Amino acid sequence: MEEPDSGFYYKQEVLWGGDIDASAKGVRDSVLSLVPEGARSILDAGCGNGAITNFLPEDRRIVGCDISPAALSHVRHPTQVADLQALPFADGEFDLVIATDVLEHIPDSSYAKTLDELDRVSARWLLIAVPYDELLDVATVDCASCNNLFHVHWHQRNYSAASLSQLWHERAGVAAHVFCGARWQISSPLLVKLRHLINGRYYPFEHALCPNCGTAYHPPALSQESIAIGRRLDALHYALAAKGKVPWPRHSEIVMLFDKTIHASTLSLPDEETTGSPAPLPEQVILKDIPRIPDPTSYGKNFRVISESPEAATLLFPRLPARLRPVPGEIPLVMFDPIMQKTVPLEREVDGWLKIPPVSASPFGYVMHVGAAIERLDSIMLDGEINPLTPEYMSAFSLGSISERREQELLGITEVLEAKRKEGEERVEALLDQNKELEAGRAAAEERIEALLVQNNKLEAGRGAAEDRIEALLVQNNELEAERAAAEKRIEALLVQNKELEAGRAAAEQRIEKLLDLSEELEAKRTAGEQRIRHLLASEAENSTT
């Protein structure tokens, strides 16, 4: 397999932002069920977006590490960006080391070192989950740029229970293991090759990148004929598996708990999951005993009910009976043929039984639609079993007669035309809505224009009055300008007069100063005169006395 540079692929945010599907949730639950109670510290190595990490027991010390910062941004526990070949932790730092859907991505050149590092930081347990019994060729595509063949998820190898159990052969033994996840949809390498011959190396995954040149892989659109042939191959594979001609597809994941206190050399290899087909049909199935599921999974070995609405349901059969009889008998039932993509009525016989028409299987089993609340159906009596490999039924897997192919083509064209009709109706409806909005906008615009015209008339009248006012103001301004010029001249004369007055004031001040000086002299003389008079009077008085 190609040895990729994982940096640019696993750092894509688009790989980590979504929720996991029902199959991955089943794997998560299986992993959590094998976490030892005594594991008080746990490292989730290659934790991705925390699909497992975020559900580990809260009372433990939890650490997640991954090469992708984009993935770690979704983890709710402490994290570190780390390469599994050089983990930044001490020897035996964690009681338990978990690695789920990690090891299958590790290139051969660093595989042994990664296993050693996981073992080094584990004090006792290692809990591993990997794809189980995977046909790598199913998801192997070719690069449009460099023609390199690569697995869309960059898986490097497949695992059996035996090969997985030997990862730490001399260091840890298997304490428990469980098979889980949805079953693969194909187990025959020959049918994989047929698919590649028909569709090329097609796989419906949008985010794959070529590890050799980095070119994005874009799944091509399949023709209606390719889709029809694919349905026939699905039906053929189910029929072959039901009759034991090819292995019944196994679960897609294996989870294995290793314990370093167990010596692997003393243990026998764990058993692989059996690939036997479903058990023969019973004579009667009780509806209340059949599990209800929200979504179907491929290659279930038991009857299953999908409740679509309060008034309808779908019943999945692992094998196809020759006849059936519902209890009570008035429940409306039809089979669904996945090849022809249409319902097929059951034929009522004289004894009240319903004969099953020749229909093919989907990867989920044989499909029967119940046209009533499933609670109204108590049980179904079953009689006989159809061999899907008889010529009558094998003809359904062929491309069919010219008329059948023409019918299929016309059905495909009808579906396309119906889709286009609906699209056209939606477009017309959208245009009508848009036209209503435009019409409402036009009426509002006309009202606005009318208001603006009225406002414009008012403004025009106001403009005429304003012009008259401006003219009067201009005349007044001219008069004021003349008055201003006269005032300036008057001010100029006043300034000259002021200068003259200022000069007169200065001369007057000097005159006053002189007068003040003279006044002071006169005052002094007056005072001296008064003193002289008083002296004379005093002298005269003395003379008269004597």
304 has a pLDDT exceeding 80: yes
pLDDT value, residue 345:
94
pLDDT higher than 70, residue 12: no
Q: What is the mean pLDDT of residues 152-158?
A: 94
Superfamily of domain 7-134+151-185+248-265: Vaccinia Virus protein VP39 (3.40.50.150)
- pLDDT at residue 11 greater than cutoff 70: no
Q: Is 397 helix (H, G, I), strand (E, B) or coil?
A: helix
Task: Name beta bridge partners: 348.
Answer: 354
Instruction: Tell me the pLDDT band of 505, cut-offs 50, 70 and 90.
Output: confident
More confident residue, 327 or 263: 327
Q: Which residues of 19-49 are buried (b: 16+ CB within 10 A; e: fewer)?
A: eeeebbebbbebbeebbbeebeebbbbbbbb
How far is it, in rounded angstroms, from Cα 393 to Cα 232?
12
| Collapsed DSSP state (helix, strand, coil) of residue 258 | strand
Could you report the per-residue pLDDT of 328-350, keeping only the tens digit for each?
A: 888 899 999 999 899 999 999 98
Q: What is the mean pLDDT of the chain?
A: 88
d(CA 63, CA 59): 13
Model confidence pLDDT, tens digit, residues 98-153 = 999 999 999 999 999 999 999 999 999 999 999 999 999 999 999 999 999 999 99
pLDDT, tens digit, 9 for 90 and up, residues 41-66: 999 999 989 999 999 999 999 999 99
Extents of the domains making up the chain: 7-134+151-185+248-265, 284-397
Please give the share of the chain, as a percent, with pLDDT higher than 90: 48
Contact 412, 361 (CB under 8 A): no
pLDDT of residue 512: 87
The 10s digit of each residue's pLDDT in 526-539 is 888 889 888 888 88
Residue 13 has pLDDT above 70, yes or no: no
Q: Which of 133-137, 155-159, 383-387, 441-445 has the lowest mean pLDDT?
A: 441-445
Distant-in-sequence, close-in-space partners of 150: CB < 8 Å, separation ≥ 6: 1, 2, 4, 140, 141, 143, 208, 210, 211, 212
Q: Work out the average pLDDT over 308-317.
A: 87
- Torsion, Cα of 43, 47, 52, 56 (10° steps): 30
Q: Determine the Cα–Cα distance for residues 34 and 257; give it in Å rounded to an integer.
A: 7
